[in-house]
Amino acid sequence: GHLPMRGGCFLGSATFVRTTVRWSAEDQVNGAQWLGFRCVKLIER
């Protein structure tokens, strides 16, 4: 399943799409967890 955060993090921007593809390649098992972490890190940065 997909987290609600997926749509609220970058609001479907190109940057988020690219990150999603990258994240899927790195870790598809803990995707949801990793996505939330990566999302927060990008916002902080």
Question: Which residues, 6+ apart, have CB-to-CB distance to 43 below 8 Å?
Answer: 9
> What are the structural domain ranges in the chain?
5-44
Per-residue model confidence as pLDDT tens digits over 10-40: 445 555 555 555 555 555 555 455 555 555 5
Quickly tell me which residue has 């598809």 as its tokens.
Answer: 28
pTM of the model: 0.15
